[in-house]
Each structure stands twice: as structure tokens, then as C-alpha cells.
């Protein structure tokens, strides 16, 4: 688990770099160190996820991984600059997938009247 100080530092760095990395056309400078570090971690995590056969286990692992990237994502969002960012996009997809899994769980429990009992 990431310490609050490290999480804040990563968020601030991502925000600063996202602001500095955009060109006049919304392009993205891939030479950003915070971006490269996070992208490398994401690549490693995706490789590890590919080794997991169970879809349910993959969903659980992604759910555990999302908080690791949220300080970076929040920093990019706070920069309020349109950038093409694979990390932000991937986190959006993973969060949507986790939400769908949760909704399916709730639907199943409601159908069997086991929710809130």
C-alpha cells in the first residue's frame, strides 16, 4: 500500500507534468518521467494479469490495483489539460469493469433475496 505522502507526491508530479506536457494541439509528450514510471508499472501489472486464467480473479486483482494508479490519474485530471494518456484510459476501463461486476453481484443477490439479509 502506498503511503499518503507518496500518493500526494505522485498526484502533484502528474498534475505538474500533465500541464507541462501538452502542446498547443492537445498532444502529449511521452518523455514525462512520472508518465513513464506509471506506464512501466501498468505494463508489468498487465503482464502479470495475463498469467491469471480466472476472469473473476482478474477482476479482483484489477480492483486491488486501481488505487495504486489513482494519485496519478487525479493529478492528470487536476491539470485540466486534454491529453492522450494510456494510464487514465486503462483505469477508466478497469473501473467500469469493476462497477459492472458489482452490479451483477447485486443483481444476483437481489434475485435470490439474499441482499441485506
Closest C-alpha to 87, from 71, 102, 63: 71
Distance, CA of 78 to CA of 81 (rounded, Å): 8
Tens-place pLDDT, residues 30-73: 555 788 889 889 999 999 999 999 988 998 999 999 999 999 99
Q: pTM for this structure?
A: 0.62
* Higher-pLDDT residue of 54, 82: 54
| Nearest residue to 75 (alpha-carbon basis) of 98, 91, 97 | 91
Residue 110 has pLDDT above 90, yes or no: no
Number of domains making up the chain: 1
Residues in the chain: 117
Tell me, yes or no, whether 116 lies in a domain. Answer: no
Residue 19: C-alpha distances to residues 16, 35, 91 (Å): 5, 12, 20
What pLDDT is attached to residue 106?
Answer: 79
Domain range for 31 is: 4-111
117 part of a folded domain: no
Residue 74 lies in a domain: yes
Amino acid at each position: 500500500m502506498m503511503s499518503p505522502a507518496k500518493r500526494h507526491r505522485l498526484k502533484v508530479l502528474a498534475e505538474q507534468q500533465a500541464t507541462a506536457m501538452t502542446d498547443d494541439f492537445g498532444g502529449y509528450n511521452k518523455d514525462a518521467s512520472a508518465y513513464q514510471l506509471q506506464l512501466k508499472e501498468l505494463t508489468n501489472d498487465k503482464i502479470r494479469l495475463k498469467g491469471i486464467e480466472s476472469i473473476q480473479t482478474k477482476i479482483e486483482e484489477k480492483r486491488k490495483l486501481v488505487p495504486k494508479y489513482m494519485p496519478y490519474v487525479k493529478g492528470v485530471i487536476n491539470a485540466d489539460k486534454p491529453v492522450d494518456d494510456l494510464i487514465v484510459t486503462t483505469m477508466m476501463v478497469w473501473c467500469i469493469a469493476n462497477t459492472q461486476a458489482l452490479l451483477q453481484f447485486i443483481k444476483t443477490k437481489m434475485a435470490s433475496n439474499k441482499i441485506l439479509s
